[in-house]
A and B are shown apart, each in its own frame.
Chain A
């Protein structure tokens, strides 16, 4: 199955599933993602959410900012709780989609064991990781996916010295039914990948790069521009893996036709979190992107 961009701004449903006036920060990338993502998922769907910005965004008792049924659970057990809800749906004879929606800390760090178990069992759930590349809800601490050189409150002054986990690759090693990377800046691409995921049985994993204005040190209006820069510089690639086959998708696929990508510095310089990143590190990052994209050009030409 290929992602065919069926949905356009014009035919995207006007039905809304989130209320305005919620607690998300101004310019929140997750909010864009959530608003458009739920349009793809539809109402016959139950969310399972660990502690994260989404917990807060979805509302504080007794008010839910979301119109979806949500089960908030412990940090480490998102995929396990989703497994239980899905098992219950089968027992009740319901086709209801069960969607686990967690952050990068909840997925790559504390939640990875439960997710690995669910992947191995081939649970019939959709798992969305919105990756804002640090523990944002607790105030920007480093996570497993925080990129090298990034300043966080636990990697102050010189930035994180380790390379972030390639979480989609870890998931891919489990051979999931479907894997896609997405960006909050391309919500329609995310929307259509979710439409596709809904049709597939087994564990569907969507990894979404999600710019965070306070965490990344960008102006609130730059959220979408930032995510776009990550894709257009080749730092964050949008792809799908089905039946073990990787395919660039949507905006990243279109970049193959371009003679050159935007330099990674254009992305890095927009964010204060990379202000400690030296020239040498930036060059190394550029070289890494160039190598990867040379490989893509050979492979997908």
Chain B
């Protein structure tokens, strides 16, 4: 690192928003997101950032303000956590359906009830079908880099982007990271322009009631109905993976960091067993992988998933195909079914003839500690068991670290 600073993950996010020259910021305080908004209001009040800070009365309104600003062609940002994200859920669908390139940081936190201010991924997972692009950072450097890249992605594909990072583990810890050079960021991220921006010069009615079927417009041109608009969102969300990779290459050329924008594999090349995880836990697993290889001679790797929606099915299947076993560790689930990520991975692998055996582990809900030691032990135990018997059970998730 040429110019590292030591700061919290929340400050890294705020710095990215400052560098991105977001112009309208609306937010409502919720733990553990609060320091992002405090930092941004401080930067604006101190004149270090030329933007409007709107202290709204709720998360629903925070996203409302962003929808208004982005529809008028101005770069908008918000951040939230947990129930705050759920409170704006309706607005998330709206922003995606309207194809607004809003960027939001979600500092992942458990959902009530019961109340928990601590980390898991249920907030983001529960919003996976809103039409937002969802990316997960696993350290402070990724928070700042990914947030900047998120603005570029959002504005290229016109789909909102949610940058997720773990509450407390990343938001409140202080780690070294390198802030990108401001001038280069300006070159990387051109000003936002929107062809449907609200303007009296070219009046349009946006998000009007749309009929089931296609209909002629005032010039006699046939315009698609609701389903066609939604199909386009789905198609273009899928195509966003490629754009995200291109952006990462540009970013790497400018700032020297990148190369693994969708998945970040560690020691997976020859691995019999590949662990899949999102967020900070994926970094934590690197230590576990090293130990399992060094102490126990087990050929284990960890695959960090950086992009959760759109789900990079082909990339993941390609990366996992050669393993004999895939262990999916996740901090959220689809209640009554299984881990959401697990289900996605299983479905991604289904079309391939050589499928690894899959195992699902639920960990760390509501901030339940995930000691590296316990990750190591559960992996070691699992690997030492006959893994084929393990998977012979119904593929129900195994809960790690229960204290009942």
Using a CB–CB cutoff of 8 Å, the interface residues on chain A facing chain B are 43-46, 48, 55-56, 58-64, 66-74, 76-77, 79-92, 96, 113-114, 116-117, 120-121
Contact, CB under 8 Å: B52 / A85? no
* Interface-side segment among B64-72, B240-248, B310-318, B358-366: B64-72
Interface CB pairs A-B, < 8 A, 26:
A46-B199, A55-B208, A58-B208, A60-B209, A60-B215, A62-B208, A66-B205, A69-B202, A70-B208, A71-B72, A74-B60, A76-B60, A77-B61, A77-B91, A80-B68, A82-B68, A84-B69, A84-B71, A84-B76, A85-B198, A87-B24, A87-B65, A92-B74, A96-B200, A114-B58, A117-B61
Residues of B in contact, count (CB < 8 Å): 47
- B56 interface hit (Cβ, 8 Å): yes
Contact, CB under 8 Å: A113 / B209? no
Contact, CB under 8 Å: A69 / B69? no
Instruction: Give B226's nearest chain A residue, CB to CB.
Output: A61
- B211 interface hit (Cβ, 8 Å): yes
Chain B nearest Cβ from A235, distance in angstroms: 33
Q: Which of B61, B205, B216 contacts A69 (CB 8 A)?
A: B205
Instruction: Give A48's nearest chain B residue, CB to CB.
Output: B68
Contact, CB under 8 Å: A88 / B24? yes
- B230 interface hit (Cβ, 8 Å): no
Chain B nearest Cβ from A112, distance in angstroms: 11
With A73-B94, A80-B68 known to touch, is A87 a contact of B205 (CB < 8 Å)? no
Contacts of A61 in B (CB 8 A): 208-211, 215, 223, 225
Contacts of B199 in A (CB 8 A): 46, 69, 96
With A58-B205, A89-B72 known to touch, is A84 a contact of B67 (CB < 8 Å)? yes
A76 to B205, CA, bound (A): 19
Contact, CB under 8 Å: B57 / A113? yes
Instruction: Give A85's nearest chain B residue, CB to CB.
Output: B68
Contact, CB under 8 Å: A64 / B61? no
With A73-B64, A113-B58 known to touch, is A92 a contact of B72 (CB < 8 Å)? yes
Using a CB–CB cutoff of 8 Å, the interface residues on chain B facing chain A are 23-24, 26, 52, 54-58, 60-74, 76, 90-91, 94, 198-200, 202-211, 215-218, 223, 225
Contact, CB under 8 Å: A91 / B215? no
Contacts of A92 in B (CB 8 A): 72-74
A65 to B125, CA, bound (A): 40
Instruction: Give B55's nearest chain A residue, CB to CB.
Output: A121
Contact, CB under 8 Å: A116 / B57? yes
Contacts of A81 in B (CB 8 A): 64-65, 67-68, 71
With A88-B72, A91-B52 known to touch, is A80 a contact of B208 (CB < 8 Å)? no
Contacts of A67 in B (CB 8 A): 203
Contact, CB under 8 Å: A85 / B200? no
Among B200, B208, B209, the one with the most A-chain Cβ atoms within 10 Å of its Cβ is B208
With A62-B217, A74-B91, A114-B58 known to touch, is A83 a contact of B65 (CB < 8 Å)? yes
With A71-B198, A85-B71, A113-B57 known to touch, is A64 a contact of B204 (CB < 8 Å)? yes
Q: A60-B210, A92-B72 are in contact. List 18 more A-B contacts (CB 8 A).
A: A46-B72, A46-B200, A56-B209, A60-B215, A61-B215, A70-B205, A71-B71, A72-B206, A77-B91, A80-B56, A80-B60, A80-B62, A80-B65, A83-B54, A84-B54, A84-B69, A87-B23, A88-B71
Contact, CB under 8 Å: A60 / B208? yes
Contacts of A69 in B (CB 8 A): 198-200, 202-205
Contacts of A56 in B (CB 8 A): 209
A120 to B208, CA, bound (A): 30
Chain B nearest Cβ from A90, distance in angstroms: 7
With A64-B204, A68-B203, A80-B60 known to touch, is A91 a contact of B55 (CB < 8 Å)? no
Among B52, B200, B206, B225, the one with the most A-chain Cβ atoms within 10 Å of its Cβ is B200
Chain B nearest Cβ from A156, distance in angstroms: 28
Contact, CB under 8 Å: A88 / B60? no
A281 to B205, CA, bound (A): 44
Contact, CB under 8 Å: B94 / A64? no
Contacts of B203 in A (CB 8 A): 43, 64, 66-70
Contact, CB under 8 Å: A74 / B94? yes
Contacts of A72 in B (CB 8 A): 205-209
Chain A nearest Cβ from B94, distance in angstroms: 5
With A67-B203, A92-B73 known to touch, is A62 a contact of B65 (CB < 8 Å)? no
With A64-B204, A80-B68, A81-B67 known to touch, is A88 a contact of B73 (CB < 8 Å)? yes
Contacts of B64 in A (CB 8 A): 73-74, 77, 80-81, 83-84, 114
Leading 8 A-B pairs by shortest Cβ distance: A84-B68, A80-B64, A117-B57, A77-B64, A88-B72, A80-B61, A84-B65, A88-B74
Contacts of A45 in B (CB 8 A): 200
Among B23, B55, B64, B211, the one with the most A-chain Cβ atoms within 10 Å of its Cβ is B64
A76 to B73, CA, bound (A): 22
Chain A nearest Cβ from B56, distance in angstroms: 6
Contact, CB under 8 Å: B61 / A88? no
Chain A nearest Cβ from B51, distance in angstroms: 8
Contacts of A96 in B (CB 8 A): 199-200
Q: Which of B26, B72, B215, B225 contacts A85 (CB 8 A)?
A: B72
Among B23, B24, B55, the one with the most A-chain Cβ atoms within 10 Å of its Cβ is B24
Chain B nearest Cβ from A78, distance in angstroms: 8
Contacts of A73 in B (CB 8 A): 64, 67-68, 94, 207
Contacts of A62 in B (CB 8 A): 208, 215-218, 223
